[in-house]
Amino acid sequence: MKRTKIAELIGHAPENQKVLVQGWVKSHREYPDVSFVALNDGSTIKTMQIVLDANFKAEYEAAHPDQDYKELMKSINTGAAISVVGHLVPSEGKGQTSEVKATGLKVFSPFNPDFPLQKKGATLEFLREKMHLRPRSNTFGAVFRIRSAAAFAIHKFFTEKGFFYVHTPIITGSDTEGAGELFHVTTLPLNNIPKTADGEVDYEQDFFGKSAHLTVSGQLNGETFAMALGDIYTFGPTFRAENSNTSRHLAEFWMVEPEMAFYDIEMNQDLAEEFIKYVIQYVMDHCADDLEFFDEFGHTLNQGVGKRELKARLNFVLKHKFKRITYTEAVEILQSASKKFEYPVKWGSDLQSEHERYLVEDHFKKPVIVTDYPKDIKAFYMKLNDDGKTVRGMDVLFPGIGEIIGGSQREEDYDKLVKRIHEMGLPEEEYWWYLDTRRFGSAPHSGFGLGFARLLMFLTGMTNIRDVIPFPRYPRNAEF
Ligand code: 4AD
Ligand code: MG
């Protein structure tokens, strides 16, 4: 017999049909002549009530004369893995419409009193130390079902729009962002690194014959495909060796990067807004139970999140058009704000998280897209405006998160691009193939990168980015 997942079973009318359910015990309530087991199989946050009644006991004892029924009952407790055959019947109890009246039971793995997730109300910090077991908690089960649905929604959105999914490389020789936050990839012996005559590392002897590292972004490779297939996107892991121990940064995170031929910065903003709204709507439509859980209980886990705030926030974002302002306008607003910032606001310096959040949460009270940043604080590939000072970059800022998307119209002019590479002190020869796209059939194009984990923070209301990725990597932590 094939098992039916509990998510599916909940939708079935109970007509005494025979079913097989398999999962992990959440709780077990024992009474003198009946026992109720709440079983979860991960397919939903909901549990199926398993009823072990007097009939079951009599039949079990007759079939297993050498076994102690009391011991069996003890073995079925929080964390145990079991398999149950029974009949789906209407439930007399409160809280569920159907339940499984057991006729057969198999214990794969009995209750172990050392199971760390037995007590309710474990903190997120505690669960972070049990990264390998935390998916079994209600909270993390919900996070990762939502993560899966959101990933699917991303593919669905772009596929429906005629975008092609391109797999850009993980190991690369070019630094897209030019920020130097790279994890090197090498097979050179670390205790005896070969050096050239002038004392540099001799990468000639390394695996790739040159210096290589984990990618910080698939954008540059993505651009070469946009100049061929038109509209493309990448969705994969990216890596940054920035030593920032914050609740919004990971050393390994997934990024979605669409890149579109013939798009200008306006079209880029339109797409970004439509895209985020689509994914939010999809998750609201397909993860109702998990969102309901966060809506009701999220505030008990995360500081600064109100009860019944999450769904209202998601709906609010769906309903309102994102505010679009330039960096220069943003600076003016921040400078005339009565709020005192830790970092002073000055034209030319990057917006800090506190500034971004002021714009979104206090001033406009909705998502904001900031464009036209000073060229010196943005990457080399962004298209230079006619003023010669600003570039056509855009950051999408979200409540509670700050920057969720970073993107730009790209510089399509060969000479201007080379000039920017030199101005930023980057090695032109490393970018020869990228520059070729500006020599052959160059055309206006744009793209952006969405930090998938940051979107998940918004979708779930989780306030620490380490709690929305299965196995977070951050400074001094690569356990699991
Ligand atoms: O703004 P970023 O650095 O932009 C790029 O990498 C561009 N190449 C994207 C493009 O235009 N194709 O990063 C994009 C997004 C940020 O807005 C943020 O959401 C996320 O990636 N991000 C991080 N998420 C988690 N941990 C980190 N350390 C992150 N750094 C960036
Ligand atoms: Mg950015």
Write the residue with the smallest CA distance to atom 28 of ligand 1.
249
Looking at the predicted structure, is the pLDDT value of residue 178 above 80? no
Is the pLDDT score of 176 beyond 90? no
Mean residue pLDDT of the chain comes to 96
SS3 content of the chain, % helix, strand, coil (to 5): 35, 25, 40
Higher pLDDT, 145 or 93: 145
pLDDT given at position 58: 96
Give me ligand 1 centre to Cα 337, in Å.
Answer: 28
Query: Looking at residue 199, what is its pLDDT?
Result: 95
> Given pLDDT bands bounded at 50, 70 and 90, which one contains residue 305?
confident
Distance of CA 288 from the midpoint of ligand 1 (Å): 28
Q: Is it the case that residue 93 has pLDDT exceeding 90?
A: no
Give the per-residue pLDDT at 11. Answer: 86
Tokens of 210: 């040159």
Q: Whose CA is nearest to atom 19 of ligand 1?
A: 451
Residue 448 beta carbon below 6 angstroms from any ligand 1 atom: yes
The per-residue pLDDT for 42 is 98
Give the relative orientation of helices 265-286 and 138-160 as an angle to the nearest 10 degrees: 130
Is this structure's pTM higher than 0.95? yes
- Sorting pLDDT into bands at 50, 70 and 90, what band is 175? confident
pLDDT digits (tens, 9 = 90+) for 143-163: 999 999 999 999 999 999 999
Residue 302 pLDDT greater than 80, yes or no:
yes
Q: What is the mean pLDDT of residues 9-35?
A: 96
pLDDT digits (tens, 9 = 90+) for 103-141: 999 999 999 999 999 887 889 999 999 999 999 999 999
pLDDT in tens, 419-477: 999 999 999 999 999 999 999 999 999 999 999 999 999 999 999 999 999 999 999 99
Which is the closest atom of ligand 1 to the Cα of 405? 17
- The size of the chain, in residues, is 480
Distance 177 CA to ligand 2 centre (A): 9
Tens digits of residue pLDDT in 373-395: 999 999 999 999 999 999 999 99
Q: Provide the pLDDT for residue 120.
A: 79
**Secondary structure string (H, E, C) spanning 204-239:** HHCCCCCCEEECCCCHHHHHHHHHHHCEEEEEEEEE
Asked whether 255 lines ligand 1 (CB < 6 A), one says: yes
Q: Which of 99, 124, 94, 233 is nearest to 168 (CA)?
A: 233
Q: How far apart are CA 166 and CA 181, in angstroms?
A: 24
d(CA 79, CA 136) in angstroms, rounded, equals 9
pLDDT above 70: percentage of residues in the chain: 100
